[in-house]
Amino acid sequence: MASKKNKGLVTRLRRKAMKVSFKIKYQQTGLLEVVEQIQVRSNSFLRSPEWRALRRQAIARYGSTCVKCGRVGSKKSPINIDHIKPRKYYPELALDIDNLQPLCAPCNKRKGNNIEAPWVTYA
């Protein structure tokens, strides 16, 4: 039981360290101000006209089939356009079409914000 607690603690510490290192990287490169201005980490980003247009382009480019399980999108179970590298950790890639992939809802939920997920990607 103690090993599960330790594993959870290590995971939380790694995530915290990653956030701090990205913030330092953004400060050094001058991207921090840009990232804060476009607010790509907020939920309003998904309602922005830029994201909606890019999402339509991604569906046209990659199709509406999940790259993980092959499920075809429908009205009942639509395909999500997922950021391969999450907006949370890579805000500069939020509007990069090469950082997008179509996933069904269950596969997208399983992936979450995991950076090291072994998913099929377009690159």
Expressed in angstroms, the distance from the first to the final Cα of the chain is 41
pLDDT tens profile 17-64: 766 666 666 666 665 555 555 556 567 888 888 889 999 999 999 999
Segment 108-119 mean pLDDT: 69
Q: Which residues does 105 contact at the CB level (< 8 Å), separation at least 6?
A: 77, 78, 80
**pLDDT category, 119, cuts 50, 70, 90?**
very low
pLDDT of residue 54: 92
Does the pTM surpass 0.85? The reply is no
Q: Are 94 and 83 in contact (CB under 8 A)?
A: yes
Q: Which of 2-6, 12-16, 87-91 has the highest mean pLDDT?
A: 87-91
| 9 against 5, higher pLDDT | 9
